[in-house]
A and B are shown apart, each in its own frame.
Chain A
């Protein structure tokens, strides 16, 4: 069953395009990784699910959550979706948690809002903290954000995201600001909770290997478009789009030490500056004349004119 559906989603902010015909189905219980460089439109894609787009944004196409057009939700419906059905985890937990309230206040707010009694809400908040590996939960509930490390605070945010039993978690670079050992802990917790609860996950990262470890499928974005979708397990063997291959090849671990890294010439394009044909044409080592002029059609696996020959 499809839980989340992007159907030719196009977003422009103040007349400048940021997303161009993003089409993607996410099945219930599935984890999909959105991978790409800065400005590729990953964050805009997941934010459009919550209707958290910047002022002046115009939207074309549709986003459907559980069959309902998100763009057509009334205020009550939007509030229900945001507080109950979909949870979001951002890169910087300190920007999310109110710095002058306690961790307990933060965790129980939504439950109290939904009519849960104070002691029951506290009990559930403590249980949620234990589940994500935060020890001494009752003491943590009394603490304020500045008393907690970044890794610990991100686990508090994940606990909050899980508390209301959401069907979908949108995680936007949730581990980018964390040390790698803490990152491992946090993604292991996400994976475990997903197994236990069957929660659907959209996971944004710029790290292909991380996405492959956490997700079932990977969608690679460039300049506001999805250029390739493939199963995470076959990332290295089956990547066909030149941009995906370029990303894989330019990581320092991709070549033996001392060898030169395979670089992509130029700089990442945005949807605004991308050429009229294939968005990757001006950086692609294989590009031909038609690549610059004619927009390639997404075939179900990749958007590239040269799939047969590459």
Chain B
């Protein structure tokens, strides 16, 4: 459904994305992982049309919506939850009666429809952002670090919600994240990026349990877990 081929992005001579290819099948769930500066967010922005690639192709069968890390910045602070969702529904020619269903789908109390963003918690705001993205009934949802800023107990609620929403609507996910435990939970396939290139890709189970590339191994080894002893890398600065 999404096919990205040989993507390249240059900024004034610096290469941010270099020959990146990946695909998301209909209803699939692909994670793009990597550290800051790896080019993962640039890929997401090119897929959603927020930026233009220097070369390469993006083929999308269907529509795409995006959810960002900080819902406070992506919501209009003077617009109520209901107003926000109604606007998107009207723009896409959907029936306004779906508003209640959308609130149910993301687990928001219908009484919160009249609330403004500042009256909501961070988790509730992210639910609104997800509801708004799903209102357009896209075939693909691009989630750029969408749970990174949330507290652990709230993050768990949103991750369950994302699993449920995919099961209920058949929407596909392109999940941009640095958090491997989130990848394990939500995604079936993963692309590992480093310095603008894809260094490894495949099913989550295989890549995270038997990483082949040295960079993926280092990434997997650096995740705190029971019995983990942090180590200093040699010759790094």
Contact = CB atoms under 8 A, between A and B. Distances in A.
Interface in B62-79: none
A214 B230 contact: yes
A178 to B, nearest CB: 9
Interface size band for A: 35 or more
A191 interface: yes
Interface stretch (B1-9, B16-24, B83-91, B178-186): B178-186
B138 to A, nearest CB: 24
Given A184-B230, A188-B230, A207-B224, A252 B153 contact: no
B232 A250 contact: no
B204 interface: yes
A252 B219 contact: no
Contacts of A38: 122, 151
A134 B235 CA distance: 9
A135 B153 CA distance: 40
Contacts of B231: 184, 188
B14 interface: no
Contacts of A188: 230-232
A206 to B, nearest CB: 6
A125 B67 CA distance: 44
Interface in B131-160: 151-157, 159-160
Given A187-B230, A253-B184, A263-B157, A179 B35 contact: yes
A178 B82 CA distance: 37
Given A181-B218, A181-B219, A263-B157, A213 B152 contact: no
B178 A263 contact: no
B234 to A, nearest CB: 9
B226 A236 contact: yes
Chief secondary structure at chain A's binding surface: helix
A268 B185 contact: no
B128 to A, nearest CB: 14
B152 A209 contact: no
Interface in A260-289: 260-264, 267-268
B92 to A, nearest CB: 31
Interface residues of B, number: 42
A136 to B, nearest CB: 8
Given A37-B152, A247-B152, A253-B181, A213 B218 contact: no
A284 B111 CA distance: 24
Contacts of B225: 209, 253
A213 B230 contact: yes
Given A188-B230, A263-B160, A209 B224 contact: yes
Contacts of A134: 237
A67 interface: no
Contacts of A207: 224
A285 B204 CA distance: 33
Contacts of B179: 252
A257 B184 contact: yes
Interface string B5-42: 00000000000000000000000000000011000000
Interface in B177-231: 178-182, 184-186, 204-205, 218-219, 221-226, 228-231
Contact of A261 (B156, B204, B233): B156
A18 B121 CA distance: 18
A198 interface: no
Interface string A120-159: 0000000000000111100000000000001010000000
A251 B152 contact: yes
Interface string A171-206: 000000001111111011101100000000000001
Interface of B: 35-36, 121-124, 151-157, 159-160, 163, 178-182, 184-186, 204-205, 218-219, 221-226, 228-233, 236-237
10 contacts: A37-B151, A37-B154, A134-B237, A184-B221, A188-B231, A206-B151, A209-B228, A210-B224, A257-B204, A268-B153
Given A214-B230, A263-B153, A263-B157, 6 more contacts: A38-B122, A250-B152, A251-B152, A252-B159, A257-B204, A267-B121
Closest 9 CB pairs of A and B: A250-B156, A209-B224, A179-B35, A37-B151, A252-B185, A261-B156, A264-B153, A188-B230, A252-B181
Interface of A: 37-38, 133-136, 150, 152, 179-185, 187-189, 191-192, 206-207, 209-210, 212-214, 235-236, 246-247, 250-253, 255, 257, 260-264, 267-268
